[in-house]
Amino acid sequence: MAATIEPSVADVFAWLDAVPDPEIPVISIRDLGIVRDVWWSGEGMERTLTISITPTYVGCPAMRVIEADIVAALSARGVAHTNVEMRLAPAWTTDWLTANGREKLRAYGISPPRPRDLAADPRALDLVALLGTLEERAACPRCGSLDVALVTRFGSTPCKAQYRCVTCREPFDHFKAH
């Protein structure tokens, strides 16, 4: 049996950066913003590491896979007792996506939602200046064009919508803002 270790919370967060989202494997569960908290509890041999996660939406089918992936990743690093706690409140929001996660989505061909904090994304300010509105708009992740057409509000997963770029004519998913 492997030795049990007690890594720091910072180490655990770093390890969770390597756990991919099962539906969008280019983004980690940390970059997706679903990892809410990490803490140790208990005494002696019964010390348990708890990871609190929030689904992107209630009923997300990927959550059981994510839970198993978290346990497997920590077990592979010697953590013997892991508890994954699902929290529904506060509800997940796309504001929890990291800047790194947004860029990974864009590079993968998925248009990320703009952050509500416009100062965090200068492209959003350009969009507001162009459109004169704060309405959510998708930008083509391939060519950056704002000249896009909604194909369907239902994309490859419930959290995405399908668009087509009028400029480069490529279809793409847009991660819906929540």
pLDDT tens-digit map of 95-136: 999 999 999 999 999 999 877 665 455 554 455 445 444 446
Give me the sheet containing 148-152, strands edge to edge.
110-111, 171-175, 160-165, 148-152
Q: Does residue 11 have a pLDDT over 70?
A: yes
Could you tell me if 82 and 48 are in contact, meaning their C-beta atoms sit under 8 angstroms apart? yes
Mean pLDDT, residues 144-162 = 88
Cα(60)–Cα(154) distance, rounded to whole angstroms? 15
Q: What is the dihedral of CA 141, 144, 146, 149, to 10 degrees?
A: -40
pLDDT for the residue 128: 47
d(C-alpha 53, C-alpha 63), whole Å: 9
pLDDT of the residue at 171: 95
Q: Delimit the domains of the chain by residue range.
A: 9-86, 110-175
Architecture of domain 9-86: 2-Layer Sandwich (3.30)
DSSP, collapsed to helix, strand or coil, labels residue 104 as helix
State the pLDDT at residue 123.
53
In whole angstroms, what is the distance from residue 168 CA to residue 156 CA?
A: 21
Three-state DSSP class for residue 126: helix
For the chain, percent of residues with pLDDT exceeding 70 = 85
Q: Kindly list the distances between the CA atom of residue 176 and the CA atoms of 15, 51, 55, 75, 157, in Å, as whole numbers in the listed order.
A: 27, 26, 14, 33, 10
Q: What does the mean pLDDT of the chain come to? A: 86
